[in-house]
Amino acid sequence: MRGKPMRTNLVGLTLSIGASFVALGGCGGGAAEPVAEETTGAEDPTPRATFSGTWNGERFDARWAALGWQWPGGWTVFLSDRPPNEGDVGLPVDATYVELRFGDALEPTATEPGHTMTPFVTVAPNPDGSTTPYEGEGSATVGLSAVTMSTAYDPSGSTPQTVGTATLDLDATFPADASHAAGNLRGQGEIPIVFLGAPHAGCRDVQPAPTDYTWAEEPNLRHVPSGPVHGNVRGRAFSPASLFFERRTTSSEEEWSMILSTEPTIGSPGVEHETLTLRFDRAPRRGRVTRAMASGGGYWQACVGLGTTSWNADNAYALEITRWQVGRCTPGEAGQPAHLGTASGRMIVVYRGYEESENSWVAGTFTNVPIVAPSCE
């Protein structure tokens, strides 16, 4: 969440949900009733629930709780003594919070009654900046119900962004470890559904997967469907907005790849977009190139829910380059890659599914796509 080790000082947890509650009784001392106050930062998630407990001998009052989406991590319930700041991704560095992770679905869903899961605890740094990770094995019985998405994520808005509500029923325990006393956390009530970060651009628009190609472990170019390259990645449509060949030169050799991405700009698409990268063991040229089903040979940055992950399953391909024309290198403009030439052809790429991943494929034709390099040097 914050890009630092998980740490804890949780033993007496008293969580009062709502960004408008003050955390009281922090160090020693008896517990006092939470007092409403004006807050800044994230949108007030509406204090309609109270979660109470103990952590490391101290009371803990949650000033903010939500079912939030972030990458990586997916849908997670956060119970924190600090609200997120407007425009930030994640919680403040000085927050102590508990996480309950619910997975990478496109939308959060209700749980079955008595759902069990493992809570994760992160504790703010000590005054000297040191951290003490919690190494106990916490457990929780959770009920997530009345999950209502009232609005879609607005890409033009800021984060955190509230899009709905859910009801959380929680009973969690935190056994003692070498550095922390035992704790617990209980409560029930309504919490907001928020985006702590923006969904990846290439994963927000979900379209049904095409069915004009039948997956086969040994791709045969006779079965290439008509039309531009398209595909089915893990049960959803893959429609690349850019397709290009790329040459990169190392100190000892040239490395060649074919890149297909939902990012329309030629270059390095990053993790925000779905991208299929094929690696070649020699420079492409006119003719056919095939690869039998095996590991390696590239990777697929594919959507899982609203974020991407690097998918490295066994794969095979059949590629026919009908036109390969390389001329004088032309430097790119404004940081764009250099242009070497153009290529045309047809292709089939198949990825073997496993566990929750479906068999996936990309197939079709390409015409006069760019051949590029980082520079002409």
For residues 73 and 4, the model is more confident at 73
Distance in angstroms (rounded) separating the CA atoms of residues 192 and 369:
46
Q: What is the mean pLDDT of residues 275-296?
A: 95
Give the pLDDT confidence score for residue 291 in this predicted structure: 95
Taking the CA atoms of residue 133, residue 135, residue 138 and residue 144 in that order, the dihedral angle to the nearest 10 degrees is: 40
Mean pLDDT of 137-156: 95
Return the top range by mean pLDDT from 219-233, 325-339, 347-361: 219-233
- Is 337's pLDDT higher than 90? yes
CA angle 71-204-106, nearest 5°? 65
Please determine, for residue 156, whether its predicted confidence score (pLDDT) is greater than 70.
yes
Question: Is pLDDT at 198 greater than 80 in this prediction?
Answer: yes
What's this model's pTM, rounded to 2 decimal places? 0.78
| Band of residue 35 on the pLDDT scale cut at 50, 70, 90 | very low
Q: Which residue has the tokens 């929780």?
A: 140
Mean pLDDT (whole number) for 275-281: 95
pLDDT at 46 over 50: no
Cβ neighbors of 7 (< 8 A, separation 6 or more) are 122, 123, 124, 125, 131, 132, 133, 134
Q: Are strands 275-280 and 230-233 parallel, antiparallel or unpaired?
A: unpaired
Yes or no: say if 241 and 267 are a contact pair by the CB < 8 Å rule. Answer: no
DSSP 3-state of 202: helix
> Across residues 61-81, what is the average pLDDT?
90
Contacts with 138 (C-beta within 8 Å, 6 or more apart), sequence order: 118, 119, 120, 121, 172, 173, 174, 175
Q: How far is CA 178 from CA 119, 123, 188, in A?
A: 18, 16, 30
Cβ neighbors of 250 (< 8 A, separation 6 or more) are none
Q: Give me the mean pLDDT over the 111-125 stretch.
A: 91
Task: Please work out, in degrees rounded to the nearest 5, the angle formed at the alpha carbon of residue 154 by the alpha carbons of 206 and 72.
Answer: 65
Q: pLDDT value at position 42?
A: 47
Query: CA–CA separation, 88 vs 68, rounded Å?
Result: 13
Q: What is the greatest pairwise CA distance in the chain?
A: 79
pLDDT score at 28: 32
Domain ranges of the chain: 11-198, 203-373
